[in-house]
Every structure is written in C-alpha cells, then in structure tokens.
C-alpha cells in the first residue's frame, strides 16, 4: 500500500526511513539535518565509517534515537536542467532503496521527496518518478509512505498518484 502523508519523517515509526543525504553522509540541511538531530550524535559517528555515498547509491545505518529501526541514506541528483541524467539517477535512488530494504526484511518504509528541496528537482516530475518506482515495489512491502513536508506537496503527490492509477 502507498500512503501519502504530511509529516515530519523523523517522527515516523516504520522499519526504515530514507534520508535525502549528500555525498559525505555527514549531515547537512533540510531533511538530512533533521534526521541527524533526531537520531543523535551516534549517527554521525557511524556514518564516518561508511566512506560516503555516490549519487543514486544507498548506504544503511541504524536509526539510533529515531523511532525507525533503520535509515537508508541515498544521494539524489542536483537539478541541472534535466539533461544531465537527473531522472535516471533519481529513479536509482528509489530502486536501490527498495532493493536494500528487501534484503533487510524492511516491510514498512517512508521516503521524503528526494532532491526536491535544496537540490532543486521540479516537484511534479520528481513525484512521478518516486511514485512509479513505489508502485513497482508495492506488492513486496506492507506500507510505503510518501512523506510530504507541506500540504502543497501532499496535493502534488496525490495528483500524480491518481494519474498513475488511472
Ligand atoms: P535535497 O537536498 O535532496 O533536495 P532537502 O532536505 O533539501 O533534500 O529536501 C528534500 C525534501 O524533504 C523537500 O521536499 C523538503 O521539504 C522535505 N523535508 C525537509 N525536512 C523534512 C522533514 N523533517 N520531514 C520530511 N520531509 C522534510
């Protein structure tokens, strides 16, 4: 089941939340900063051992002080106008997150709008990619939450999901 929810992702009690991280995995602004604050300083200490993360790739950490058991860190593409493989890379973030989830018995997962904040990816196109991949894995998980930070984002994601369901 796919659910579109307006929430702070750090408050969700799911098996895993996905972090829109940067290549260093050492914290940053936006959702990444919120996750580091809520998980506590152990997260930074742990992530120092991971050796960073390539764009479109994923790395796993415990959730530490979060209600979620795991954090899947992924690095979305920076939007450069759409001709630099952004769509392919964004799709990879979601697919690789699901592949990692399936090998760790993760049945409930929440995603933020990867790349749609500081990285500038247009929200409608990002939502379409995110929800398309979510649909491909829907049958293999119990719950997939598309976690929106604003009601405006809830509207965008709901409209895109409705289009895909038609
Ligand atoms: P990126 O650098 O990949 O663009 P951002 O963190 O800047 O990542 O933004 C990604 C999305 O996460 C944006 O839609 C932003 O509104 C949202 N966001 C920011 N903080 C939170 C939070 N605490 N919970 C859920 N979503 C959040």
**CA 116 / ligand 1 centre spacing (Å):** 7
CB 74 within 8 A of CB 21: yes
User: Integer distance in angstroms from the first to the last C-alpha of the chain?
Assistant: 16
Q: What percent of the chain has pLDDT over 90?
A: 100
Q: Is 111 in the pocket of ligand 1 (CB under 6 A)?
A: no
How far apart, in whole angstroms, are the C-alpha atoms of residue 141 and residue 164?
19
Q: What is the pLDDT of residue 100?
A: 98
Q: What is the pLDDT of residue 90?
A: 99
**CA 98 / ligand 1 centre spacing (Å):** 19
Residue 21 alpha carbon, nearest atom of ligand 1: 3
Q: Which ranges of the chain have pLDDT less than 70?
A: none
**CA 114 / ligand 1 centre spacing (Å):** 7
pTM: 0.98
Please, which residues bridge with residue 73 across strands?
19, 59
Q: What is the pLDDT of residue 89?
A: 98
How far apart, in whole angstroms, are the C-alpha atoms of residue 18 and residue 93?
10
Q: Is 9 in the pocket of ligand 1 (CB under 6 A)?
A: yes
**CA 34 / ligand 1 centre spacing (Å):** 9
pLDDT tens readout for residues 36-52:
999 999 999 999 999 99
Q: Which domains does the chain have, with CATH numbers?
A: 2-165 (3.40.220.10)
Structure tokens at 132: 């398309």
């Amino acid at each position: 089941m796919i659910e579109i929810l307006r929430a702070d992702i750090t408050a969700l009690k799911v098996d895993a939340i996905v972090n829109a991280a940067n290549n260093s995995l050492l914290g940053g602004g936006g959702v990444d900063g919120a996750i580091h604050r809520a998980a506590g300083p152990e997260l930074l200490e742990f992530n120092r051992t991971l050796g960073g993360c390539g764009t479109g790739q994923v790395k796993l950490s415990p959730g530490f002080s979060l209600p979620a058991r795991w954090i899947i860190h992924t690095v979305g593409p920076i939007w450069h106008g759409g001709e630099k493989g952004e769509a392919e890379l964004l799709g990879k973030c979601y697919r690789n997150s699901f592949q990692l989830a399936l090998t760790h018995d993760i049945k409930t997962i929440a995603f933020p709008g990867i790349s749609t904040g500081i990285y500038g990816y247009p929200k409608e196109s990002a939502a379409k990619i995110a929800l398309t991949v979510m649909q491909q894995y829907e049958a293999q998980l119990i719950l997939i939450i598309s976690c929106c930070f604003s009601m405006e984002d809830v509207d965008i994601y709901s409209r895109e999901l409705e289009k895909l369901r038609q």
